[in-house]
Amino acid sequence: MLQINISTQPIRLDYTNNSAKLSRQTTQPKVEIETTPPTVEIYQPRGELTIDQYPCRYSIGLKNIADFARDNAALGRQTAMDAIARIAQEGNQLARIESKTDAIVDIAANSALSEAPEITYAYIESPEIHYQANPVQFNPKYGKVELNLKRGTIEGNYQPGSVNVQVTQYPSVEISFVDVKV
Q: What is the mean pLDDT of residues 149-174?
A: 88
CA–CA separation, 80 and 82 (whole Å) = 5
CA distance 175 to 3: 10
53/130 same-domain check: yes
What is the model's pTM?
A: 0.39
Q: Above 80 in pLDDT, residue 136?
A: yes
Q: Are residues 97 and 130 in the same domain?
A: yes
Considering the domain architecture, whether residues 58 and 111 belong to the same structural domain is answered as yes
Residues 20 and 86 in one domain: no
Q: Over 80: is that where the pLDDT of 147 sits?
A: yes
- The whole-angstrom separation of Cα 94 and Cα 169 is 182
pLDDT for residue 99 is more than 80: no
Domain co-membership, 73 together with 40: no
Give the structural domain span for 175. 1-45+137-181
**37 residue type, one letter:** P
Buried b / exposed e along 29-52 (16+ C-beta atoms within 10 A): eeeeeeeeeeeeeeeeeeeeeeee
73 and 130 in one domain?
A: yes
Residues in contact with 167: Cβ distance below 8 Å, sequence separation at least 6, in sequence order: 11, 12, 13, 14
Is the domain of 152 the same as that of 170? yes
Task: Output DSSP code: residue 124.
Answer: P
What pLDDT digit, counting tens, does each position of 43-92 carry? Answer: 988 999 999 988 888 888 888 889 889 999 999 999 999 999 988 988 88
Task: Classify the phi-psi angles of 61: left when phi > 0, otherwise alpha if psi is within -120 to 50, otherwise beta.
Answer: left
Q: Are residues 126 and 61 in the same domain?
A: yes
- Residue 86 and residue 159 in one domain: no
**Into how many domains does the chain fold?**
2
**What average pLDDT does the chain have?**
87
Q: Does residue 125 sit in the same domain as residue 89?
A: yes
Indicate the DSSP class of residue 66: H
- Half-sphere exposure at residue 160, Cβ-oriented, CA atoms within 13 angstroms: 3
Of the chain, the percentage scoring pLDDT greater than 90 comes to: 28
User: Quick one: 40 and 81 in the same domain?
Assistant: no
